[in-house]
Amino acid sequence: MKIGINHLTHKNQIVVVNYGINNVSSVSKALKQCNIEHTISSNPEYLEKCSHIILPGVGSFDSGVENLRINGLDEAIIYAVKN
């Protein structure tokens, strides 16, 4: 489920981070089966406005971290965790 960034509220939005090498569709399907509203995004601004972040696993940690850095998601995740 995708929604516009203006509709995200800090108190009730889950974002599944799509950083290019992870399988977000499996996570999204599981959330849908549990009737949990969520957004799939690679936009760092979404992470700053959400209440929960799901970072799906990958086969290669080094590649995953590099893709997070390339997309500016590493800093957005750190910011969201601290705030």
> CA-CA distance, 63 to 50, in Å (whole number)?
25
- The confidence score (pLDDT) of residue 5 equals 46
Q: Mind listing the pLDDT tens digit for each residue in 4-52? A: 444 555 556 899 999 887 788 888 998 998 888 899 998 988 888 888 9
- The confidence score (pLDDT) of residue 19 equals 84
Q: Mind listing the pLDDT tens digit for each residue in 2-12? A: 444 445 555 56
Domain 5-82, what architecture? 3-Layer(aba) Sandwich (3.40)
Q: Residue count of the chain, please give it.
A: 83
CB neighbour list of residue 79: distance below 8 Å, 6 or more residues apart:
47, 48
Domain ranges of the chain: 5-82
Question: Do the Cβ atoms of 56 and 26 come closer than 8 Å?
Answer: yes
Alpha helix segments (H runs only) across 9-83: 24-33, 44-49, 61-70, 73-82
